[in-house]
């Protein structure tokens, strides 16, 4: 499962657009800068592909090391 640093997120929605499983959506909460940030809609469907982390221009999404090693 991904880890999101909500303080780095600027709400660009690239992660949502490029998620192959379409399990990210823009939430209704805002970070302290006023940006809406995404959340997983179904953690069980996340395949830990890392596309969201790769596409994020702010580096706000990370894939835990354990999951990176399993791929």
For 26-38, the pLDDT digits (tens) are 999 999 999 999 9
Local confidence band at 64 (pLDDT 50, 70, 90 cut-offs): confident
- Evaluate if residue 16 carries a pLDDT over 70: yes
DSSP label of 36 = E
Predicted TM-score of the model (pTM): 0.85
Neighbour count for residue 14 (Cβ, 10 Å): 19
CATH number of the domain bearing residue 14: 3.30.70.20
Measured CA to CA, the distance from residue 15 to residue 49 in angstroms comes to 12
- Mean per-residue pLDDT of the chain: 92
Based on the structure, what is the number of domains in the chain?
Answer: 1
What's the whole-number mean pLDDT along residues 46-57?
96
pLDDT at 69: 55
Neighbour count for residue 20 (Cβ, 10 Å): 9
**Which domain covers residue 30, as residue numbers?**
3-70
């Amino acid at each position: 499962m991904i880890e999101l640093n909500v303080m780095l997120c600027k709400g660009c929605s690239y992660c949502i657009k490029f998620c192959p499983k379409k399990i990210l959506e823009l939430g209704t909460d805002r970070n302290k800068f006023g940006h809406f940030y995404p959340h997983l809609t179904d953690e069980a469907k996340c395949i830990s592909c890392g596309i969201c982390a790769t596409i994020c221009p702010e580096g706000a999404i990370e894939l835990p090391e354990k999951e990176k090693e399993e791929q």
